[in-house]
Amino acid sequence: MKLKDKVAVVTGGNRGIGKAIALKLAQEGASVAICGTNEATLKETAAEIEKLGVKAFQQKVDVSKVADVEAFAKAVIETFGKANILVNNAGITRDNLLLRMSEQEWDDVLNINLKSTFLTTKYFVKSMMKARQGRIINITSIIGVRGNAGQANYAASKAGIIGLTKTTAREFASRNITCNAIAPGFIQTDMTHALGDQAKEALLKEIPLGFLGETSDIANTVAFFAADESRYITGQVICVDGGMVI
């Protein structure tokens, strides 16, 4: 219960990696607010959080829209009185080769992945500044570190998150607010389950440890950054990737 009496906010916390993060933080004692675009899975995840003995709050939010994010932040603060931990996890892909990529595909990914991280940080950090303590954890990707053919928009958005993380860390360090990023490698999710056997074999050859990560690997790293043990770490990017980026 390292996070007892803390309030955590997880964007995209209703499924996949985000859901694993939300449940892990709840297991550590934090009350958890989640947002996403699917009301059914938001309600389901909120119910799972409350079964762990903590309070949950859920709201349908388009994290690329200022009005939605501002309203979400206001609702969370009204409900819990504070926000100690912010996990920027919401993200999408719209893969295409650069020459074929449409402006819409570019804008959608940059808005959901990068702009949302800016907006949520802007509106939730105020509560942390008031308390003179906070933890911001941004979920980037190894694609933002090394790039990937067919993912110019995704790579740019995730690389942008790394730059934003470092700047946020510098701007708010004097208020005892840390900001770090986690760069997942290939994690077992619905996307990787859909890969064929050949594709999985080729992928495993790129991973020195020889296996795909699990959502719990990311959630456990988030929990570390959210707790007091990480108090002297800020502005860092940790690759949780089985050694793909060394």
The 3 state secondary structure assigned to 140-208 is: CCHHHHHCCCCEHHHHHHHHHHHHHHHHHHHHHHHHCEEEEEEEECCECCHHHHCCCHHHHHHHHHCCC
pTM: 0.96
Per-residue pLDDT at 192 exceeds 80 = no
pLDDT tens profile 149-175:
999 999 999 999 999 999 999 999 999
Would you state the pLDDT for residue 176?
A: 98
Per-residue pLDDT at 119 exceeds 90 = yes
Name beta bridge partners: 237: 181
Per-residue pLDDT at 195 exceeds 90 = no
Confidence of residue 14 (pLDDT cuts 50, 70, 90): very high
pLDDT tens profile 59-106:
999 999 999 999 999 999 999 999 999 999 999 999 999 999 999 999
Confidence of residue 139 (pLDDT cuts 50, 70, 90): very high
Would you state the pLDDT for residue 197?
A: 81
Would you state the pLDDT for residue 191?
A: 67
Per-residue pLDDT, averaged over 113-120, amounts to 98
Per-residue pLDDT at 27 exceeds 90 = yes
Cα separation, 231 vs 46, in Å, equals 28
Confidence of residue 180 (pLDDT cuts 50, 70, 90): very high
Burial class (CB in 10 A: 0-12, 13-18, 19+), 104: exposed
Q: Which residues participate in catalysis according to the annotation?
A: 154
